Amino acid sequence: IQDSKQDWHVQAAQMADIYEGASITIAASASRDSSQGCFRETHASYVGQRLVGFKGIHVRRELPIMASRTSTPAVDIEAWPLLTRGWCYQEIALSPRIVHFAAQEVIWQCRHENIHESTETSPSTTVSSGYFDVQSRHRFSDPRGIDFTRARWAQAIQDYSQLGLTFHKDKLPAIAAIAKRTQAYLANDEYLAGLWKSTLLEELLWYTEAPCVARPPLNAHGSQVPSWSWASVSGAVRWASPPPREVPLLRTVEVVSSTYTTDGPRITGSIKEATITLRGVLLQMNQIISHDEARQQVDALSAEQVEVIAHSDNAMLAKHTHPEYRRVVASSIFWDCEPIPPQESASHKDRYILPIQAVRYGYRHSGLVLERIGSEHKYQRVGYAELQHIGEIICERFKDTIESLEEQDAAWDSLYRYAHELTREFEDMDTCVLELV
C-alpha cells in the first residue's frame, strides 16, 4: 500500500522469506539505477580473437574481477554499482540463486558454485572473493552451533556497514531480513537495535575509524537509533574482538536491564524507546592521560628510574616511589562523530570511560567513551577507547634497557603484569548505575 508505514513494516518483515524462497534473483549488477537495465554489449577487447597461425587458440583481455568492499585498488568498484548499495546486501546473501548482469559478462551464483560466462573451467576454479562469498557467509544453520551464528552476524555487520544508503533511517531495516534469520537460530535471545542481549557487553565495543559528521536527528516518525548501537553512525564499523570471541569481561560491569519498544515488529519497526541500564566503573576522562602525554612523561624518565622500575618486585611500577606514574592511559580513542575533541585531558570534564573488557591480545583494556546528558545518571555513547597502565608504555619504550638489566622477554612479562594490575585496580573501584541512551 503506497505511503502506508504499517504496511511497509508488515512487508519488510517478510523479505527474508521472499528472497530465500525465490527460484532465481536477477541482479543488474552493472547498473546505477532502474533506468539502466540489465544488458550491456561486451567490449571487443574482452571477446576472444583467433591467434593467427595457432589453430583453436583465441586471446582476449582478462575480464574485470567482481568487486567487494575489501577489493584491492586494481579492482574497479565503480563497475559494480549495485554491489555498493546497502539494501542489496541481504538480498544477495539470502537468495539461493542469482544471475548477475555485469558490465562485460553474465555470472551465475548459487550456494554451491559461481560460473562466469567467459570461462570454461570447472566451477570450483571460478569462485571469487568478495561479494561471491556473501552467500556462504550467511548459512546460519551450522553444526558448530550458536557461536558460529553470532560470528556470522558480526561479520555481516562489518561487511554491510561499509555499503551506501540514501537514507540513514534505513540502516536497520536494510539488514532486518538477515536479523530475522539470525533470530531463528538465537531463539532465546532478544534483538536490541542491531545487537543481541545475551552478548550485549561485547557487542557494545564496536568502533569506526572514520567518524561520521554527526548522528542523524530524529526522523519524521520520531524514531532514533540509540547512541550505543552501531547503526547510529554512518560508515564502516569494526570490532577489535568480534563476538563471540572469548575475551574476559571485567567483573565490575553488568547489564542491569534494557528497554526496547518499537512501532511495529521488533526487528523492522521504528524504534520508540531504546535504553540500557548498566552497572560499572566510570573513569573521568580528565583524570586519564592521552598516549602522547604518557610518552612525554615516559621519555623524561632517567636511566636510574628505569632501572628501579626494571628491578621492582613483581615487575610493579615502584608505585610507592613514583606514584605519579600510576596513571591510566587512553592509548587509542575512536570517536563516533565529528568534531573530534582535543587530545588534552583537561578538555574532557563531562566525558567518562566505562571499562568493559579486561584485556585484548594479552594487554590493553577496552571500553566506551560516554558523555553525560541531562540527569546525573544518563549518558550517551561518543566513542570507543583502549586503555593501558602507564607501566605498559614504559616497558614498550625501554624494552631493550629492561631486558639488558634482567633477562630476555622480561619487558613483555612486565607489560603483561601491568595489564593485570590495571584489571585489579578497576575491579577495586566503586561502581555506579548508569542509563545509556
Tens digits of per-residue pLDDT, 288-298? 888 888 888 88
For residue 253, what are the CA distances in angstroms to 83, 227, 380, 382?
40, 19, 17, 19
pLDDT score of 23 more than 60: yes
What's the confidence (pLDDT) of residue 190? 95
The residue type found at 157 is I
Which has more pLDDT, 284 or 56?
Answer: 284
Mean pLDDT on 22-48: 84
Q: Is 323 helix (H, G, I), strand (E, B) or coil?
A: helix
Mean pLDDT on 46-74: 67
In this prediction, residue 144 has a pLDDT band, given cuts at 50, 70 and 90, of: low
Tens digits of per-residue pLDDT, 151-195? 889 999 999 998 989 888 889 999 999 998 898 888 889 999 999
Which has more pLDDT, 32 or 247?
Answer: 32
**Among 230, 277, 220, 221, residue whose Cα is nearest residue 254:** 277
What's the confidence (pLDDT) of residue 298? 82
Q: Residue ranges of the domains in the chain?
A: 5-137, 195-437
Tens digits of per-residue pLDDT, 92-102? 889 999 999 98
What's the confidence (pLDDT) of residue 69? 43
The answer to whether 365 touches 327, Cβ cutoff 8 Å, is: no
In this prediction, residue 274 has a pLDDT band, given cuts at 50, 70 and 90, of: very high
SS (H, E, C) the chain: CCCCHHHHHHHHCCHHHHHHCCCCEEECCCCCCHHHCCCCCCCHHHCCEECCCCCCCEECCCCCCCCCCCCCCCCCHHHCHHHHEHHHHHHHHHCCEEEEECCCCEEEEECCCEEECCCCCCHHHCCCCHHHHHHHHCCCCCCCCHHHHHHHHHHHHHHHCCCECCCHHHCCHHHHHHHHHHHHHCCCCCEECCEEHHHHHHHCCEECCCCECCCCCCCCCCCCCCCCCHHHCCCCCEECCCCCCCCCECCCCEEEEEEEEEECCCCCCEEEEEEEEEEECCEEHHHCEEHHHHHHHHHCCCHHHHHHHHHCHHHCCCCCCCHHHCCEEEEEEEECECCCCCCCHHHHCCEEEEEEECCECCECEEEEEEEECCCCCEEEEEEEEEEEEHHHHHHHHCHHHHHHHCCCCHHHHHHHHHHHHHHHHHHHCCCEEEEEC
Cα–Cα dist 37/27, whole Å: 10
What's the confidence (pLDDT) of residue 48? 75
Kindly report the pTM of this predicted structure: 0.83
What's the confidence (pLDDT) of residue 275? 96
Mean pLDDT on 121-133: 43
The residue type found at 163 is L
**Among 234, 275, 238, residue whose Cα is nearest residue 258:** 275
Ranges 66-75, 256-265, 376-385: which has the least confidence:
66-75
pLDDT score of 62 more than 80: no
What's the confidence (pLDDT) of residue 314? 41
In this prediction, residue 103 has a pLDDT band, given cuts at 50, 70 and 90, of: confident
pLDDT score of 336 more than 90: yes
The radius of gyration of the chain's CA atoms, rounded to the nearest angstrom, is: 26
Please, what is the average pLDDT of the chain?
Answer: 79
Cα–Cα dist 215/228, whole Å: 11
